[in-house]
Structure 1
Amino acid sequence: MKPRWLDDTPQAAQNFVAGRRLDEVECIVADIAGVARGKAMPASKFATQERFFLPNSIFLQTITGEWADNPSGAFTEPDMILIPDFSTTAAAPWTADVTLMVIHDVLDQQGQPVPAAPRNVLKRVVQLYEDKGWSPIVAPEMEFFLVARNTDPNQPIIPPMGRTGRRAAAKQAYSMSAVDEYGKVIDDIYDFAEAQGFEIDGILQEGGAGQIEINLNHGDPVHLADQIFYFKRLIREAALRHDCFATFMAKPIQDEPGSAMHIHHSVVDIKTGKNIFSDAKGRETPEFLHFIAGMQKHLPAGIALLAPYVNSYRRYVPDFAAPINLEWGRDNRTTGLRVPVSGPEARRLENRLAGMDCNPYLGLAASLACGYLGLIERETPRAECLGDAYMSEDELPYNLGDALDLLQESTAMREVLGGEFTDVYVAVKRNEFKEFLQVISPWEREHLLLNV
């Protein structure tokens, strides 16, 4: 007999379970890094409970498993209340048993959203738009690498072996033959996505060896962040089935391009359903330029969320197809802010600065926050860049420490993202940065050991 709660879930989840016994439900939330945390339980138990509990310390955990100090007080680990959002129910088709995953809303014991929960941060930013009568629309692009299994962190990451018996080659952007090299992984990605009810807009070969890009259809930011959160796990599981790893590191392989999460933005008037970036005659509106100006002004303070690790800044180097500027231009891929070719109804701005290593909830929240501030402040962007923006002056922080300083000092970003969240995020990331600085790299041993 089908559990009653399944009636409130997407059709794809119901189709996945149809005619079979549901064994297990994973109750999950995304932590600061975007790692799925939570509990797995028998489906029979899940059906009898309306809420679950996790300590608030999960939002103080670093990527290495250490704990940052709680900026708001003692480390007492009070429980948070987790309420299932049944609209997020999705299959876990890689498991041996019939398993569903459900993302949960995170509340405190007074029933208020926990400010440090990344999904709540994105909801907060989206609500600011809606309070003004706007609905933000995003379309993310996900880049990642398939790499050979790497079980020794001291060894460099190398490309995977393809079906020809050769390792994946670089500089094969848009090559269909290159995608065919690991076609079985792609097939499983499609199959898993179909089981979860996700629609892929396209898959293509990027410029790096074993580097793939998946595009998602435009839509609601929270819904798409949920999809990316699920997709990262889905893609990793598909790769493991074929003796390789999938990695979303911003820069996993030396001398190869990095992996970005380009974010396309538009804003719709809730009452009219029209794109506010185009007027009745199809021309660019002042709001479109204000949105760009907000990006240029506030993205330096948002980089800590778009580039959240020390490795993230290895992607910001010239001549590797990564934007390292705040210039904007029409159909100009050298600019950090690109206006793609489109009709008036689809006029949008593409933020090319975010890395694929960012937490999708926080990456979208930070990017939307900058655009929102632009709409509120109504400033004008500098002149469009008509040439090679790679030649522009440096405007962005080039290490995690500097990026965190800019975020912490930005009153505007703190107000939009929430002061309590910002303090927690900075505390976690400073802890990670401190740990990294204690590690002696092979470069230091090679060049300094006997020469200085």
Structure 2
Amino acid sequence: MSPKKTTLKPARNVPASTKTPPDPGSLRGVANWKEAAQWLRARGIEDIECITPDLAGVPRGKMMPSSKFTSNTSLALPSAIYRHTISGEYPEETESFRYEPRDSDLKLMPDLSTLSVVPWETDPTAQVICDIVDSDGGEVPYTPRNVLKRIMSLYHDRGWKPIVAPEIEFYLVAKNDDPDYPLHPPKGRSGRSILGGQGYSIAGINEFDELIDDIYHFSEKQGLEIDTLIHEEGPAQLEINLRHGNPIELADQVFLFKRTIREAALKHDIYATFMAKPMQGQPGSAMHIHQSVVNVETGRNVFSNADGSASKEFFHFIGGMQKFVPSAMAMLAPYVNSYRRLQPDMSCPVNNAWGYDNRTTAFRVPVSDPQARRVENRLPSSDANPYLALAASLASGLLGIMKEIEPTAPTEDSANEGSIDLPRGLLEAVALMEDEPAFEEVFGKQFIGLYAGVKRGEFETFMQVISPWEREFLLLNV
């Protein structure tokens, strides 16, 4: 990979206008290979981690000396890493889920705009997020970053760019090496485990001052910007809000933030978990997504008319969310555990309703001025792959605009008092995803088949486990 090597370039069909040009002097990102070599030398970087998200959002890749990174070195991974379950197993083939016959290599293509240090490593180490291409340099359509880029290109074809702002909830839990043992909150600086009901409590945040300082420190070193941090309702449940921006860049940030928060927690001998429902009887963890759309040429918010009123695109976007998000839940709630979060009276919407400043609805329209008019999707759980969650949410809204789908009337009161309007489990969600013909238009047939196969494989693995509930109520009673 010499600075002149021409095969290392961003994946195709990614409009230049969707990327923010990196600042060579910043903590995060460089523009070319010459600057990359200078950046690495200036920081004394010894090793570099070339990482990419798999279907679960788990970082996969290779580590190498920095001298090898800037030389003519080829980076490759087997295609099978996009066909195994979260437990590392490989599902049986079906008509739509197939393995690549030769398990051929896929190439890692570093996106130099993501280059940053790895601040928790003892040796000077850097990291870079990579795109995935085939042996001929073409896009691999089923990889998460490319799935999101495909949705971005659909917006760009209309002269638009989506803007997003994710909010990520997570729990801090005491270390636990026995998966049969229930999780519980860690002890804070007071020496006592924090209790629930601490929403927006500053004292709750202060219990973990040193850990939060490390999260901020690690984030700053990587050029990642946290907007706000709060304590949520659950015991030792925190939420980080990110500043709005380009969906690819924000998905990259969530991808790195998850890693950062886990590492900061481990430094303090506790776990950070993004499981959707880690503790029985406590609220689940969400990844709320705020979304708007901007006209590339004018900079105007597409959701607002010139007089400040809501546009037809705004209402069609909501109509699309209402129609298509329930069929996209396998990407927004990707595990068996995710559906334990979707329960009434657990601070989570279980509907496909929308409303103005109504947190009981799945799709909330916050109070804002016309230029900031946006739709918040409150359904995704924090265990979701951020690239796929953003792709699913943005695609649903865009399909609504493309098909001019009218929404229902906004909900004025609580929307959580009726029946649950969403799939109640993973298999139902996967079937809904496969049965929606519009999804092949936006996600591609290959991705749908591959993703559905992996999710069914994960469900079958789950079904092999006997739960405490079964031992408690079936052992001596049936």
Same fold at TM > 0.5: yes
Question: Which residue identity is paired with 1:292?
Answer: I
Please say if 1:42 is aligned against 2:65: yes
CA distance in 1, matches of 2:163, 2:100: 39
Q: Secondary structure at the match of 1:310?
A: coil
Q: Deviation at 1:406?
A: 0.3
Q: 2:79 aligns with which of 56, 59, 64?
A: 56
Equivalent pair of 1:133/1:269 in contact (CA under 8 Å)? yes
TM-score, with structure 1 as normaliser:
0.96
Q: 1:12 aligns with which of 21, 24, 27?
A: 27
Please say if 1:376 is aligned against 2:402: yes
Equivalent pair of 1:305/1:362 in contact (CA under 8 Å)? yes
The equivalences for 1:65-76 within 5 A come to 65-69=88-92, 71-76=97-102
Q: Deviation at 1:181?
A: 0.3
Question: Which residue identity is paired with 2:330?
Answer: A
CA distance in 1, matches of 2:168, 2:4: 35
Please say if 1:102 is aligned against 2:117: no
Equivalent pair of 2:351/2:362 in contact (CA under 8 Å)? yes
Q: Deviations over 1:36-89 (max 9, x none)?
A: 000000111111036411111110011001113452455421001111110011
Q: Deviations over 1:192-239 (max 9, x none)?
A: 010010111100000000000000000000000000000000000000
Q: Which sections of structure 1, spanning at least 5 residues, go unmatched?
A: none
Q: Deviations over 1:392-433 (max 9, x none)?
A: 332110100000000011110122111101111001110000
The equivalences for 1:334-413 within 5 A come to 334-413=360-439
Q: For the structure 1 residues 28 and 406, does the alpha-carbon distance in structure 2 shift closer, same or farther, using more than 3 Å as the test?
A: same
Q: Deviations over 1:4-61 (max 9, x none)?
A: 99x9867204899675421100011100000000000011111103641111111001
Specify the alignment match of 1:174 in structure 2.
200
CA distance in 2, matches of 1:18, 1:174: 43
Please say if 1:27 is aligned against 2:50: yes
Q: 2:280 aligns with which of 230, 254, 278?
A: 254
The equivalences for 1:212-223 within 5 A come to 212-223=238-249
Q: Which sections of structure 2, spanning at least 5 residues, go unmatched?
A: 6-21, 30-37
The equivalences for 1:306-345 within 5 A come to 306-345=332-371
Q: For the structure 1 residues 13 and 295, does the alpha-carbon distance in structure 2 shift closer, same or farther, using more than 3 Å as the test?
A: closer
Q: Secondary structure at the match of 2:224?
A: coil
Q: 1:287 aligns with which of 306, 310, 313?
A: 313
Q: 2:112 aligns with which of 72, 86, 91?
A: 86
Q: How many residues align?
A: 449
Q: 1:162 aligns with which of 181, 184, 188?
A: 188
Q: For the structure 1 residues 213 and 10, does the alpha-carbon distance in structure 2 shift closer, same or farther, using more than 3 Å as the test?
A: farther
Question: Which residue identity is paired with 2:213?
Answer: D
CA distance in 2, matches of 1:16, 1:52: 20
The equivalences for 1:95-134 within 5 A come to 95-134=121-160
Equivalent pair of 1:301/1:413 in contact (CA under 8 Å)? no
Equivalent pair of 1:125/1:365 in contact (CA under 8 Å)? yes
Question: Which residue identity is paired with 2:207?
Answer: E
Moved runs in structure 1, 4+ residues, more than 3 A? 7-10, 13-20, 72-75
Q: For the structure 1 residues 290 and 13, does the alpha-carbon distance in structure 2 shift closer, same or farther, using more than 3 Å as the test?
A: closer
Identity score, percent: 53
Specify the alignment match of 2:9 in structure 1.
none
Question: Which residue identity is paired with 1:303?
Answer: M
CA distance in 2, matches of 1:358, 1:423: 18
Specify the alignment match of 2:174 in structure 1.
148
Q: For the structure 1 residues 280 and 8, does the alpha-carbon distance in structure 2 shift closer, same or farther, using more than 3 Å as the test?
A: closer
Equivalent pair of 2:28/2:114 in contact (CA under 8 Å)? no
Equivalent pair of 1:9/1:89 in contact (CA under 8 Å)? no
CA distance in 2, matches of 1:290, 1:49: 49
Please say if 1:235 is aligned against 2:258: no
Q: Deviation at 1:152?
A: 0.6
CA distance in 2, matches of 1:45, 1:397: 48
Q: Secondary structure at the match of 1:262?
A: strand
Equivalent pair of 1:8/1:86 in contact (CA under 8 Å)? no
Q: For the structure 1 residues 194 and 18, does the alpha-carbon distance in structure 2 shift closer, same or farther, using more than 3 Å as the test?
A: farther
CA distance in 1, matches of 2:311, 2:415: 24
Question: Which residue identity is paired with 1:247?
Answer: T
Q: Secondary structure at the match of 1:135?
A: strand
Equivalent pair of 1:108/1:114 in contact (CA under 8 Å)? yes
CA distance in 2, matches of 1:73, 1:31: 15
Please say if 1:442 is aligned against 2:468: yes
Q: For the structure 1 residues 348 and 125, does the alpha-carbon distance in structure 2 shift closer, same or farther, using more than 3 Å as the test?
A: same
Equivalent pair of 1:69/1:75 in contact (CA under 8 Å)? no
Specify the alignment match of 2:32 in structure 1.
none
Equivalent pair of 2:79/2:100 in contact (CA under 8 Å)? no
Question: Which residue identity is paired with 1:11?
Answer: S
Q: Considering only aligned residues, what root-mean-square deviation do their CA atoms show, in Å?
A: 1.7
CA distance in 2, matches of 1:54, 1:216: 31
Equivalent pair of 1:10/1:88 in contact (CA under 8 Å)? no
Question: Which residue identity is paired with 1:184?
Answer: E
Q: Secondary structure at the match of 1:137?
A: strand
